[in-house]
Structures are given as structure tokens and as C-alpha cells.
Structure 1
Amino acid sequence: MNLHFWWFFTSYLRPIIKWFLRKTTGLCELQRICYGTVSGAPRVVAVERSLNLSRTRQIRQLVDHLNDIADQKRFTDVNERKILKGAVNTVLAVKKINPKTHYQFGIAFGKCVEQIWGYRQLVAEVEHLRKICFDSDICEHERKLYDLWKYLMPEEELEGRVSKQWQTIGFQGEDPKTDFRGMGMLGLENLLFFASEYRAPAQHVLMHSQHPTYGYCFAIVGINLTSMAWVLLRDGTAKTYFYNISRSLPTIRLFHSFYSYLFYEFDKFWVQTKPQDIMQFSNVKEKFEKNIRTMLKNPCSNFKIALTVENV
């Protein structure tokens, strides 16, 4: 669809089609979506598109208001209910929908609002964490680094904060802090979550990374995959995953789970590809990301890590 046709469609054809369907069905576009589209990503994406294309002044003001709330990370447990109620009531009033007759619409639409602006807020939260630089003078940062070693190498004691042992789990040098520069604390938080919440899969991946022929730098690859996960989140490709799997306001924990899936699946893809050496990493990563993007185009995609791992 070229830009000229898209402009013509949104400016002229779409309003006419909406008016005709409203007259024949007695339902506005948002009602038709919430009643006729399967829940999860298909419904949420359709509602999001409808709201963003709306030319009604009150709806546009509502969208701007919710964008501001999400960008400032004010969509919290304390005021979430109030925000959702206000958004639903605005649409009910603007679209002249009887809340008693169409109470199910209010529930379905409110859930869509929660997902749409919860996702936008998650983007802001992840970006905030990414901008926090690892600081060895901050005790919490140091503790998380030591925890990463503990979960990945439970049977080997770390001899010192600066040690060649860090290279065993895939850092480049003797001090891991230099490897977090690109992704900041987000890179460390991702690695730690994978290692602690998915211990067996993480150990499985670590074992593969130490393969004499097809090995790779576990931590460095993990930080690169943090970058991939962040890009997929930021450009909206990951909406399919979050809209399908989240049952409430999306949290940073859910982003860590998404990252863990990517790491586990990348390891399988790497082994199946059988690259000649680590210099093939960029090409393999590019193909892997292309596959993930293709999968996420399917609105029914739902990623989960297989808890049963095979010995390869």
C-alpha cells in the first residue's frame, strides 16, 4: 500500500466505511473490534490502530493524555484503576455507548488500554535501566555481578573481583564492568534473570558456549541479545509477544522473560547453524533476528522457554 493510497484511505474511505458500519450494525468501530476480534494481540493491535487513526478531538486528547502518563511512568498499581476507568468512561461518552447494555465492552476495552499503554510505559522503563551505567562503587551493582557468577558457576568459587575466571562465562577481560557499556545495567539484569530464573536452560546454554568447535562468549553474546530484545521492544515488533502473554500491566520481569527466550533460542540456532568460528556471529545473529521478526508477524505467536533441555 503506497503512501498516496494510504492517505486517501484514511482521509476519505475509512470514515465512510466506519459510518456505514455504524449505521448497519449499531456498533462503533471499537465495539466491533472488542466483540468480534479474538483477545490478545489481534484485538489489542486493532484497538490501538483505531485509536491512533481517530479524528475525534476527545479521543485524540485521550491518546495524548495516556501517552504522557506512560512516558512519565505514572501507570502504577496505585492509580491504574483510576486511569483505566477514566479512559473507558471517555470512550463510552464520546461514542454514546450505554455502559449497562454494553458492560462487556468496558471490560474488554479497559484491558486493551492497559496493554497498549503498559507496553509504552515498559519501553520507558527499559530505556531508563539501559541508561544506568554499571558502577563498581555501587554495592547493589557489585552484588548482582557476584550473583551472576554464583548462579552460572555454583561449584567454583570466584578468586577475586578482577579475575581471568570471568572469561569462563564469556566476558572479554578480567573485569566484566567494561563489557556492560552498551546496554548498561539492563545487560546485567537480563543475564542475571536468565541465570537465576531459568537455571537449567541457562546452564545448558553456558555448556554450549564452551564447546571446543562451536563455542562463543556467553556473556558477550548475552549482552548483544539484550540489544536485540531492546530494539524489538522499541520498534514495536515485540508487541505480539507482550499483548499475548501479559494478563495485566506489562512489567520489566516480562521483558527479562522475553530476553531469556531469545537467548535460549539463539543458542539452539547457533548450534544448528554450525558456524566456522565466532567471526560468523553477526551473520548468524542477523538471520536469527529475521526469523524472530517473521514469527512475531503472526498475531498468535506466544514464546515460551522449553524447560526440558536436551544434551547436545
Structure 2
Amino acid sequence: MYLPFGDYLKGLVSWIITVISSNIYQIFRPGIKWVLRKATGLCELQRTCYCEPAGAKRIVAIEHSLRGSKSEQVKKLLEFLDRAAKEKRFSDSSSPVVSNSVRAICDIKKIRLEVHQPFGKSFSECVSLIWGLNELMHTIEGLRSTAYDAEDASHEEKLLDLWALLMPGKELDSRVSNSWKELGFQGEDPKTDFRGMGILGLENLLYFSKNYSNAALHVLSHANHPSHGYSYAIVGINLTHLAYTLWKDGTAKSHIYNLCSQLSKPCRPRLIHFHRFYCYLFFEFDKLWMREKPVNIMEFSRIRDIFEKNIRSQLADPNCLFKLNFPVVHI
């Protein structure tokens, strides 16, 4: 399908303006920062902490400022923080990584912390959330790259728990069985379907079934619809891939940062937050699927593309915060 020439031209002009504006800003950014520093007596990090509201807007701006810094001292600090996240030192409550980073920035930027105490608090929260997410992504990546192992008792136990939760009262005749197809797996042995997303796919399916059992069973009933059904497990694993992609490419930062900073006590992103994000995606995808009423499963790619586009559009709003709300309505 081709766009009308007028629409194509408008899009091209818009893209050119965006590129030029971005390049012009990058050229003059150091000068703008210098002028603002002289005029306000505050560095860019301070201005961001004082002027941007708590949440994604502030945290993303702080991250952008740090990553865009030309200071060799700041670059070394970022290398230190990235290494600490990889070594999972942020999950250690006694670790001085965050407090040391605040002091380091204050030394680099000549900020008197005793005078600018609000900055110290805001900046430490930003550091904790930015590199806490970085650390969590290493954990998620580890789960994704861990293949399902039938010889691992913990893997087998989780798989059988999934059956028990989604098929209450129905015994599984054997570990390898055609009955798994009732849950939307492709063959007799579900382990082959976890190849793409590893144990992370199973962890997501299990979390949804265990913590939101009514919603999971509701979605499963739609998946088994005689006219508009779909493969529950396969779609679930596909949505694990979508959730993983949105977190890995940074698109989901608006939701993550708003969620963690707006809690009564701000906390670092945890695996439970990823699982809940996945549950939100699964329930919302099912709603879209049933609204679309596809003729057959061959429409999956089309509907998934619509869904991903909608989710990315919502996440583009810096105020985005997905909230779990599972009203179960029979369709």
C-alpha cells in the first residue's frame, strides 16, 4: 500500500525538520548549558532534579544528561555503575554504590551537598532506579537465555504447576502428552516451545496463572473459543518476547520509572514488576483479539502488530503507567 504523494512529502519534510532541529540542538547544547549554568548557578543535573516532576520525565532526563556528558570523570563513573549493575551490587541494601555515586557527582560538578540536600535525595533515587533497571535486565536476560531442561526438577515442577493451575481438577495422563495442546502448546512436550524465550516464558505464564488465576482462566477460555480461539501458551510466550523487547530497547522506561518512583516508598525495579507488565500485556492482547474476532489464527501477526503499535504509542507518553485491572466479563 502506497502513501499519497502529499502525505509522503509531509512526512519527509517533518523528518528533515526533526533531524535538523536535533543536530542544531546538539551543536549548541554545550553553549546553552554554559549560559544556563552562569545564569542559574546550577548544573544541568541540578536543574533537572529541581524542575522536572518526580517520575519518568526526571529520571530519563538525568540518564540522558549523564550518558551525553563529555566529562571523562563522568564517563568513568558510568563505567563503574554499569559494572556494579552487572555484578548485581544494587540489590545489596548495604552497598554504598548509590551514595558514593552521589558524592562523586557532587565533587565533579562542584555541588555543595550540605546546601543542596534535595538534589542529593532526588539524584540518588534516579541513580538507584536507572542502574537498578540495568541490573534487573541482566537477571531477565539470564532467564531468557536459560533453556528449559527436563532434567532440572525445578523446571519440571513449574511446568506441572502451570497445568494444575490452568486445568484444575483434570489429571495430566503423562508428562509427554497430547493434552498439553489444550493449553495451546504445539506438541506433546511443551519444553520445545520455550526455546525462543527460555525459562522466562514459563516463569511469565506461571506468574499470571498463580497470581491472577481468575484472569488467566478467563483468557484461556477465550483462547479456546470455537470460532475465534488462539494458542494460549504460544501467544503467551510470544508476549514474553514483546515484554522483553520493550524493556530491553528502553521503550518501557516510562512505565517502569513512574511505577517505581510513585510507590509510597520508591524502590528499584524488580522481577515482579516485569511479570506484572507481562500480565497486563496478556490481558490487553486478549481483549483486542476478541474485539477483532479474527477468522483464524493466520491473523495473529496482523493483530499482534496492531497491539505492539498501540502499546508503544502509550509508552511514548512520559506519564504512562500501566495499572493491572482485570474485570472478567464473559464474551
Range into which the TM-score falls when normalised by the shorter chain? over 0.9
Q: Distance in 2 between matches of 1:272 and 1:308?
A: 15
Partner secondary structure for residue 39 of structure 1? coil
Q: 1:94 matched to which residue of 2?
A: 108
Offset at 1:139?
A: 0.4
Offset at 1:73?
A: 2.8
Q: Distance in 2 between matches of 1:212 and 1:307?
A: 23
Q: Distance in 2 between matches of 1:276 and 1:2?
A: 41
Offset at 1:32?
A: 0.9
Residue in structure 1 matching 2:25, options 1, 5, 9: 9
Offset at 1:162?
A: 1.2
Partner secondary structure for residue 303 of structure 1? coil
Offset at 1:72?
A: 3.2
Which residue identity lines up with residue 71 of structure 1 in the other structure? K
Q: Distance in 2 between matches of 1:112 and 1:286?
A: 33
CA contact (8 A) 2:185 2:231 kept: yes
Within the alignment, does 1:206 sit opposite 2:225 as a pair?
no
Which residue identity lines up with residue 218 of structure 1 in the other structure? Y
Bigger drift between 98-107 and 140-149 goes to 98-107
Q: C-alpha offsets along residues 257-301 of structure 1, whole Å, 9 cap, x if unaligned?
A: 111111110000111111110010011101100110000000111
Q: Distance in 2 between matches of 1:232 and 1:175?
A: 29
Q: C-alpha offsets along residues 233-279 of structure 1, whole Å, 9 cap, x if unaligned?
A: 11110111111112311111111111111111000011111111001
Within the alignment, does 1:282 sit opposite 2:301 as a pair?
yes
Partner secondary structure for residue 174 of structure 1? coil
Give the TM-score normalised by the residue count of structure 2. Answer: 0.90
Q: Which runs of 5 or more structure 1 residues have no equivalent in the other structure? A: none
Within the alignment, does 1:251 sit opposite 2:270 as a pair?
yes
Which residue identity lines up with residue 299 of structure 1 in the other structure? P
CA contact (8 A) 1:115 1:249 kept: yes
Residue in structure 1 matching 2:286, options 249, 267, 270: 267
CA contact (8 A) 1:245 1:302 kept: yes
Q: Distance in 2 between matches of 1:18 and 1:58?
A: 18
Offset at 1:78?
A: 4.2
Residue in structure 2 matching 1:118, options 122, 132, 144: 132
Q: Distance in 1 between matches of 2:171 and 2:143?
A: 29
Q: Which runs of 5 or more structure 2 residues have no equivalent in the other structure? A: 1-16, 261-265
Within the alignment, does 1:151 sit opposite 2:165 as a pair?
yes
CA contact (8 A) 2:200 2:240 kept: yes
Residue in structure 2 matching 1:40, options 49, 55, 62: 55
Q: C-alpha offsets along residues 137-192 of structure 1, whole Å, 9 cap, x if unaligned?
A: 11000000011111111221222111221111111111111111111101000100
Offset at 1:308?
A: 2.6
Which residue identity lines up with residue 27 of structure 1 in the other structure? L
Partner secondary structure for residue 44 of structure 1? helix
Within the alignment, does 1:304 sit opposite 2:320 as a pair?
no
Give the TM-score normalised by the residue count of structure 1. Answer: 0.95
CA contact (8 A) 1:122 1:252 kept: yes
CA contact (8 A) 2:147 2:199 kept: yes
Partner secondary structure for residue 77 of structure 1? coil
Q: C-alpha offsets along residues 70-96 of structure 1, whole Å, 9 cap, x if unaligned?
A: 23333222444x000011001111111
Q: Distance in 2 between matches of 1:44 and 1:201?
A: 33
RMSD: 1.4
Q: Distance in 2 between matches of 1:298 and 1:200?
A: 30
Q: Distance in 2 between matches of 1:164 and 1:275?
A: 25
Within the alignment, does 1:173 sit opposite 2:187 as a pair?
yes
Q: How does 1:67-146 map to 2 (within 5 A)?
A: 67-80=82-95, 82-146=96-160
Offset at 1:224?
A: 0.5
Q: Distance in 1 between matches of 2:60 and 2:206?
A: 32
Partner secondary structure for residue 306 of structure 2? helix
Q: Distance in 2 between matches of 1:28 and 1:309?
A: 50
CA contact (8 A) 1:264 1:305 kept: no
Residue in structure 2 matching 1:235, options 249, 252, 260: 249
Bigger drift between 209-218 and 241-250 goes to 241-250
Aligned pair count?
A: 310
Q: Distance in 1 between matches of 2:272 and 2:329?
A: 26
Q: Distance in 2 between matches of 1:305 and 1:275?
A: 25
Q: Distance in 2 between matches of 1:240 and 1:155?
A: 41
Which residue identity lines up with residue 37 of structure 2 in the other structure? R
Q: 1:64 matched to which residue of 2?
A: 79
Offset at 1:5?
A: 5.7
